[in-house]
A and B are shown apart, each in its own frame.
Chain A
Amino acid sequence: MTAGTLSNRKIASDNAFLKALIRNVVPPIVAVLIFCVIWQLFSTDTFPGPVQVIQDAFSAEDGPPLINPFHVGGAEDYWGTVFNAVVRGTGDTNIGLFWLVMSSLKRVAIGYSFAALIGVALGILVGVNNLLYRALDPIFQFLRVVPPLAWVPISLAALQMNEPAALFVIFITAIWPILINTAVGVKQIPSDYNNVAKVLRLSKQKYFFKVLIPATVPYIFTGLRIGIGLAWLAIIAAEIVMSGVPGIGFFIWDEYQNNYITGIIIALLYIGATGLILDRLVAWIGTKVSPA
């Protein structure tokens, strides 16, 4: 009896799981397939279709860096090349796409960390000070809408070197949404909470950690999430302009210069996937950190 109902229930739940899987997985797969068919129909000599792309990717001549994400060409020492590319941002630019993405991500990590730290700190400062807010908010709103690419020439001119310029472009692109959202978050703290703090005469420190930060964290993470998207956008833009660095942005540009569309398309998949992972990662951290 019991065993029977149990296994019945198990079958039922298996069925439900299967149904959910079919409902959620099959439609996107079908959509991708339809997309590929349309793409194939519209492919030309200069713009390869999916079949051509797969053939090219598996060809012995161009294939290795595309198919093997960990590929390092030439005879030199493998880890030395990887270290140069990822940590120092120099050397061979024709290595596996995983390492190129890593090399770009390292730049993003640095620029974005500065943007997050300074953005949150400045956002809080501007949020708690009405005069500062009125003075600076219009400027922030203005700078926020300057596209990442527009910062590249000016940062190159100012910093003269590719690497710091790339970091600066990421920083300056990502900081505005973080800063603005943090400031808005501070301003949005319900007046009830501030009144409690006032009537209890909470110390600055207690107010900061028990009221301000918990009340603002959701806004900070909204800003951080927009910021990471923009940072990833910016690194691609920056690397495209600053030639010669190992990185996924330069790679895609280099492939274009060599009229090699297959490489562009595969790099595009990596860029999209990485952006998505970054976005979800920050959102996930946000849900972990957010109080209540």
Chain B
Amino acid sequence: MPQAPRQASPVFLDCTADRFVPFRHFWILTIMQVINDTPMSVVSQVAAATVSAQPLLVIENVSKVYPTPTGAYTVLENVNLSVREGEFICVIGHSGCGKTTLLNMVSGFSKPTTGSVRVNGKEVKEPGPDRMVVFQGYALLPWLTAFENIFLAVDAVHPDRPYSEKAAIVKENLALVGLADAADKKPPQLSGGMKQRVAIARALAIRPEVLILDEPFGALDAITKEELQEELLKIWNDHKCTVLMITHDIDEALFLADRLVMMTNGPAANVGEILEIPFPRPRDRARIMEDPEFYHLRNYALDFLYNRFAHDDE
């Protein structure tokens, strides 16, 4: 509950004043509401959060330049972002603006041209299981069953534990995504939603510090998508891992995230604005949809994407 106001302050810091004008009064409203509920704790929370919390993930002055036949192509320029432990961050932006590029530098698949990405104060140099990725195309090995796919990951992270313990972890995580019965099925026998569940279970089973999801629900139908969003949120609530997730869906981001990172258009994209999403947790979709604030935030994000940073391809 107190999470929402605690995160109110960075918004004011992150945003330039002129961009922020239409947005400010929501914030005051939200803060007022919460203060009315729990006046004392909020004030202390804000102070504590801004002073003590050392961010888990720091992206500092990161630029990424790809050499191309027609010259250097700057995808990202001067991207800054700090993520605290346990935060749920969604990243939104037009196709091709560099979201995957940014997350690839967090997962370690590519290196920033300049600047640095640090997790727990340590520079990210290569991929590792502490920053587990749920890939856009599931990336399950089709010749292994759901169980074996997850087991491969658990076994890689805990090579010295006995088989029975590892198997128990696998089963527990399969049950967590509601797939206990599909343990022995291979990916070709699973539906898209089930495959994504297995991929999420695999990622969760190794207890990463940062969970990175690249448009995990993009290919799913609306109902499955909502189901999975709720499952992901529940799991995140229980495990409190830090989540970095790319999405194209504003509603999804508003439902899931603590903060929504909105990227400007490429080339040389960066973080345009960061929207704080104050809905209390645990979140309930129906209640959020009734909240007028939801529509304010939604319109604000839509305005950002379709007016201020409209795609100028056509």
Give chain A's interface residues, CB within 8 Å of chain B: 190, 192-193, 195-196, 198-203, 206, 210-211, 214, 291-292
B137→A192 contact, CB < 8 A: yes
B109→A195 contact, CB < 8 A: yes
Q: 0/1 per residue, B171-202, Cβ < 8 Å to A?
A: 00000000000000011100000000000000
Q: DSSP class of B's interface residues: helix, strand, loop or mixed?
A: loop
Q: Is B232 among interface residues, defined by CB-CB distance under 8 A?
A: no
A206→B127 contact, CB < 8 A: no
B139→A196 contact, CB < 8 A: yes
B152→A199 contact, CB < 8 A: no
The answer to whether residues A201 and B135 also contact, given A193-B141, A195-B109 and a CB cut-off of 8 A, is no
Q: Is B129 among interface residues, defined by CB-CB distance under 8 A?
A: yes
Q: Provide 10 A-B residue pairs closer than 8 Å at the C-beta atoms, listed in order of the A residue.
A: A192-B139, A193-B139, A200-B156, A200-B157, A200-B206, A210-B141, A211-B141, A214-B143, A292-B186, A292-B188
Complex Cα distance, B103 from A247, in Å, reads 64
B139→A195 contact, CB < 8 A: yes
The answer to whether residues A195 and B141 also contact, given A200-B153, A206-B156 and a CB cut-off of 8 A, is no
- Give every chain A residue within 8 A of B186 (Cβ-Cβ): 292
Complex Cα distance, B136 from A192, in Å, reads 9
Closest residue of chain A to B132 (Cβ to Cβ) is A199
Q: 0/1 per residue, B86-115, Cβ < 8 Å to A?
A: 000000000000000000000111000000
Give chain B's interface residues, CB within 8 Å of chain A: 107-109, 126-129, 131-133, 135, 137-139, 141-144, 152-153, 155-157, 159, 186-188, 206
- Give every chain A residue within 8 A of B109 (Cβ-Cβ): 195, 198
Minimum CB–CB distance for A289 against chain B, Å: 11
Complex Cα distance, B138 from A196, in Å, reads 10
Minimum CB–CB distance for A151 against chain B, Å: 37
Residue among B107, B135, B137 with most chain A CB within 10 A: B135
- Give every chain B residue within 8 A of A206 (Cβ-Cβ): 152, 155-156
The answer to whether residues A196 and B188 also contact, given A203-B156, A206-B152 and a CB cut-off of 8 A, is no
A195→B135 contact, CB < 8 A: yes
Residue among A192, A199, A203, A211 with most chain B CB within 10 A: A199
The answer to whether residues A201 and B141 also contact, given A192-B135, A195-B133, A196-B135 and a CB cut-off of 8 A, is no
B156 touches which one: A192, A201, A214, A292 (CB < 8 A)? A201
Complex Cα distance, B156 from A203, in Å, reads 8
B143 touches which one: A196, A200, A201, A291 (CB < 8 A)? A291
- Give every chain B residue within 8 A of A203 (Cβ-Cβ): 156, 159
Complex Cα distance, B140 from A210, in Å, reads 12
Complex Cα distance, B144 from A275, in Å, reads 35
Minimum CB–CB distance for A131 against chain B, Å: 20
- Give every chain A residue within 8 A of B155 (Cβ-Cβ): 206
Give me the 7 closest cross-chain CB pairs, A-B, nearest first. A291-B143, A192-B139, A200-B156, A199-B127, A214-B143, A292-B143, A292-B142
Closest residue of chain A to B139 (Cβ to Cβ) is A192
- Give every chain B residue within 8 A of A202 (Cβ-Cβ): 152, 156
A210→B139 contact, CB < 8 A: no
Complex Cα distance, B107 from A23, in Å, reads 58
B128→A196 contact, CB < 8 A: no
- Give every chain B residue within 8 A of A291 (Cβ-Cβ): 142-143
Closest residue of chain A to B199 (Cβ to Cβ) is A196
Closest residue of chain A to B142 (Cβ to Cβ) is A292
Complex Cα distance, B126 from A199, in Å, reads 8
B141→A199 contact, CB < 8 A: no
Closest residue of chain B to A211 (Cβ to Cβ) is B141
